[in-house]
Amino acid sequence: MVSEKILLVLAILVVSCFILGCAGYGTSNTTDVTDDVDGYTDVSVREAKDMIDSGDVFLLDVRSVSEFEAEHIEGAVNINVNELSSRLSEVPRNETILVYCRSGSRSVTASNILVDAGYTDVYNMVGGINKWKAEGYPYVSGSSS
């Protein structure tokens, strides 16, 4: 009789742990939790193009000046990732910020700098201008003079 009660209690505990352990999985809030952890949102070049076309975005190129002068997305503002922390006053706080670089690494760093500084509407273009060009989207090419 005692062993049956112990088995019943154990069964209830196992079922309870299973139910509690599974609570919340598969809900739509999973993405929100990830965004809260990162503080910014990764977007594809296609999504970035749509954002730019909407005209309601501050486009931030965080590459070096020479890289920017060689080629950039029209309308972008260039602030090198290494200078970003000291030039935050040049980045508006009341706008959506879309960050890109050459391949996507420096823009992650820049997105984190912005989030750490209190910016809340930050997007990172995955793949950078290399992916942008590979997809055939327009860009400004500098002169070689």
* pLDDT, tens only, 89-122: 999 999 999 999 999 999 999 999 999 999 999 9
Residue 121 sits in the same domain as residue 54:
yes
| Cβ proximity of 128 and 116 under 8 Å | no
Query: Is residue 45 domain-shared with residue 115, that is, in the same domain?
Result: yes
When pLDDT is cut at 50, 70 and 90, the band that residue 39 belongs to is very high
Question: Which position among 45, 60, 79, 101 bears the catalytic label?
Answer: 101
127 and 75 belong to one structural domain: yes
User: Looking at the 3D structure of the chain, how many domains does it have?
Assistant: 2
Question: What CA–CA distance (Å, rounded) separates 23 from 5?
Answer: 27
Examine the domain organization and report whether 58 and 123 are in the same domain: yes
Whether 93 and 23 map to the same domain: the answer is: no
Per-residue pLDDT at 33 exceeds 90 = no
**By C-alpha distance, which of 91, 86, 125 is closest to 105?**
125
Q: How many CB atoms lie within 10 A of CB 77?
A: 14
Please report, for the domain that includes residue 118, its CATH number.
3.40.250.10
Q: Say what the pTM is.
A: 0.73
Q: Do 8 and 50 fall within a single domain?
A: no
pLDDT at 27: 35
With cut-offs at 50, 70 and 90, classify the pLDDT of residue 35: very low
Range of the domain at 87: 39-141
The SS3 call for residue 126 is coil
In a shared domain, residues 72 and 123: yes
82 and 129 both lie in a single domain = yes
The question of whether 101 is a catalytic residue gets the answer yes
Domain co-membership, 115 together with 53: yes
Confidence grade of residue 142 (pLDDT, cut at 50, 70, 90): confident
**pLDDT tens digits along 63-82:** 999 999 999 999 999 999 99
In this structure, the answer to whether residues 14 and 58 fall within a common structural domain is no
pLDDT surpasses 70 at 32: no
Together in a domain, 33 and 43: no
Residues 21 and 44 in one domain: no
